[in-house]
Amino acid sequence: MIQLMLEESATFGPWVVTNKGDIACRTLADKHYSRQTVGASQFCRPGKNLVLRTAAGDAAIVFWSGIRDDGLDAYEITLFRNESQFLSSDLIKWGLAAVTKLWGHPPTDQIITYVNPDRIQSHNPGYCFKKAGFYIAGTSKRGLFRMRIDKHIRLLNIYEIEGIQKYWNTKEAALKAFEERKYIKTILLIKQLMSTERNLKRIQSKLTGMGYNCCTSFMPIITDEALESAGISI
């Protein structure tokens, strides 16, 4: 079961915080088209790096902050590789939540990444980033697409992640209260659970209405059948 956390922890949804010497991440980096020296022990740039990987080591994302030569003031995603069962846009959104939690809100130019359209098989380069709220904001001197996510979309993504976290925490508390036969507390928690889901669905409706993905890998669904299967009814 995926542990969903946005507390002071080394785990953020599917992501585990690791370091720039992580062998699984290095193996994934070797498969990425941006890798300059396959097999090199280092796969991160000099400067401040946040390295995240899945527990199975089948996906990795790296955020970087340092001295830039493009005049921008931003956090940059320098590596993203997904060979896992998770939707790529879900992983990107959880990564945005993690870097904001650990580093604080990004500077003026927000969070960017570069995509090489000539090295992507898809007819829509950067598609998974686009579905997470990024858009093409320019082109580098080498012809790479510079993709950026604006503050208000990034915050919507984070509100969604926080809503999912609150949902699962409340659900766990409700089930525990029911097992302990604290029925009044159970009913109150279920009402809070349903309110949380309504708020979460409003956020997700905004995202999908703008053409972005919501977190399908972690979509909470409360139904009467699901509650009854747990022995709970109100």
As a whole number of angstroms, the distance between CA 183 and CA 20 comes to 48
The domain of 190 spans 153-229
Is 40 found in the same domain as 88? yes
Q: Which of 118, 149, 180 is the last residue of a domain?
A: 149
Query: CATH code at 84?
Result: 3.40.630.30
Strands 48-54 and 15-18 turn out to be: antiparallel
Of residues 29 and 50, more confidence is placed in 50
Q: Per-residue pLDDT tens for 215-233?
A: 876 555 445 555 555 555 5
As a whole number of angstroms, the distance between CA 28 and CA 58 comes to 7
Is 18 found in the same domain as 121? yes
- With respect to residue 57, please indicate whether it lies within any of the assigned structural domains: yes
Q: Count the domains in the chain.
A: 2
pLDDT value, residue 25:
87
Of residues 55 and 44, more confidence is placed in 55
Is 121 found in the same domain as 85? yes
- With respect to residue 27, please indicate whether it lies within any of the assigned structural domains: yes
